[in-house]
Amino acid sequence: MSELRYDGRVAIVTGAGHGLGRQHALELAARGAKVVVNDLGGDRSGVGASAGPAQEVVDEIRKNGGEAVANPDNVATPEGAAAIVQAAVDNFGKVDIVVNNAGILRDKSFKNMSVEEWDGVIAVHLRGSFLVTKAAWPHLRENGYGRIVNTSSPAGLFGNFGQANYSTAKMGLVGFTKTLAHEGAKYDIKANAIAPVAWTRMTEDLLPADFKDQLGVDKVTPLVAYLVHESNPDSGEVYTVGGGRIAKILVAEGPGWGTKDELSVEAVRDNWAAINATEPHIVPRNVGEQMGPLIQQLTS
C-alpha cells in the first residue's frame, strides 16, 4: 500500500492549537506538508488570546522533524485571515491546502440566546471560514490547485438543542462548501466538509464518558488528510466521521407531488403523504439537477 504524502504542499490549519486542528496539523506535517499552525489561543467560548497553543504544536512538529510556523491571529477578522494566509506565503511561498477548523461554543436555548452569543459563534465558524478561504482563494486559483476542508457538525446538519447559533453556522458551511466546489472546479480546487465527532475540550462534557478512548481525534484526521490530498477525486461532499466510522451525508430530495391544476391549501393537505415521501429520492449535484423534476413537470 503506497503511503500518502504531502511533500511540497503548504497547508493552513486554523484552530490548530488544540483538539482536532492540532491533530490535522501534526499528521500533515508528519507526511511532509509545511504547515501554518493558526490558533487564537482563547478558551472554549472564544474568550482570551494566547500565542502559546499554536507555538506548542509547532514545537512538537519541529521536534519530529517537520516544518511549521505558528500564527496567533483571529480567523474572524479580515486582517487576521489575511495575516494567516500571508504567513504561508512569506514562510513557504504558496498555499495548497486550507483546513477551516477554528471554532468556539456559546450554547444557550434559543429563548435565552443573546445577539452577542449568536454573532460571536457565526463570526468564528462561518465568517472565519469565509475570510480565510477568501484570502487564500487568489493563491489557489493562480496555482491551479487547491484542497479545502470546512468543518461542519452533526448539530448543523440535524439540529441540536441549545445550539441555534452553532448549527446555523455549521449548516451555512455546507452551502459554502458546495458553492466553492462549483467555482473551484475549473482550477482543480476541491472543497469538502466534515461533520466530526471527537473527544476534545469542546465536547468533553457533552459526549458520554464511556466513549472517551474510542472517540480520539486520531479517528477523524485521516479523512481530512485524504480530502486534502491531491489524489482525492471528490468535491462538494460532506462526510460524518468519528470513532473509526466515516459516512457520506446526503442532501436529498424526495419524489415529490405536483399538479398542473390550481394549487390550493386543500390540495396540499390531501397530498401531504406524497409530498413527504422520501423514496425514490434524488441527490442533486447542483441547482440545475435539483430543478430537473420541476422542469419535467412544467414541460410535460
Contact call for residue 198 and ligand NAI (CB under 6 A): yes
Given a contact cutoff of 8 angstroms between Cβ atoms, the answer to whether 145 and 184 are in contact is no
Candidate ranges 36-44, 56-64, 231-239, 265-273; the one touching ligand NAI (CB under 6 A): 36-44
Position among 12, 20, 98, 174 found at the interface with ligand NAI (CB under 6 A): 20
Measure the CA–CA gap between 101 and 221, rounded to whole angstroms: 11
Contact call for residue 240 and ligand NAI (CB under 6 A): no
Contact call for residue 71 and ligand NAI (CB under 6 A): no
Determine the Cα angle at 120 with ends 116 and 121, to 5°. 125
| H-assigned helices in the chain | 19-30, 52-63, 78-92, 115-122, 128-143, 154-158, 164-184, 221-227, 265-270, 272-275, 287-299
Position among 10, 17, 24, 219 found at the interface with ligand NAI (CB under 6 A): 17
Q: Considering the candidates 6, 145, 166, 239, report the single residue annotated as catalytic.
A: 166
Cell of 198: 471527537
Given a contact cutoff of 8 angstroms between Cβ atoms, the answer to whether 41 and 77 are in contact is no
Contact call for residue 66 and ligand NAI (CB under 6 A): no
CB atoms within 10 A of CB 69: 19
Cell of 264: 390550493
Contact call for residue 128 and ligand NAI (CB under 6 A): yes
Verify whether residue 145 is a known catalytic residue.
Answer: no
Position among 40, 87, 148, 193 found at the interface with ligand NAI (CB under 6 A): 40
Given a contact cutoff of 8 angstroms between Cβ atoms, the answer to whether 204 and 216 are in contact is no
Cell of 60: 512538537
Contact call for residue 126 and ligand NAI (CB under 6 A): no
Position among 29, 38, 120, 189 found at the interface with ligand NAI (CB under 6 A): 38
Contact call for residue 241 and ligand NAI (CB under 6 A): no
Measure the CA–CA gap between 170 and 189, rounded to whole angstroms: 21
Contact call for residue 135 and ligand NAI (CB under 6 A): no
Contact call for residue 203 and ligand NAI (CB under 6 A): yes
Smallest separation, CB 233 to ligand NAI (Å): 24
- Which among 114, 247, 249, 263 has a CA at the least distance from the CA of 178? 249
CB atoms within 10 A of CB 5: 13
Smallest separation, CB 200 to ligand NAI (Å): 3
CB atoms within 10 A of CB 95: 28
Smallest separation, CB 210 to ligand NAI (Å): 15
Smallest separation, CB 78 to ligand NAI (Å): 13
Measure the CA–CA gap between 62 and 64, rounded to whole angstroms: 5
Given a contact cutoff of 8 angstroms between Cβ atoms, the answer to whether 109 and 45 are in contact is no
Contact call for residue 216 and ligand NAI (CB under 6 A): no
Smallest separation, CB 229 to ligand NAI (Å): 20
Smallest separation, CB 188 to ligand NAI (Å): 26
Position among 14, 55, 133, 240 found at the interface with ligand NAI (CB under 6 A): 14
* Amino acid at site 291: M
Binding site for ligand NAI (CB under 6 A): 14-15, 17-21, 38-42, 44, 46, 53, 74-76, 101-104, 124-125, 128, 151, 153, 196-198, 200-203
Catalytically active residues, by annotation: 166
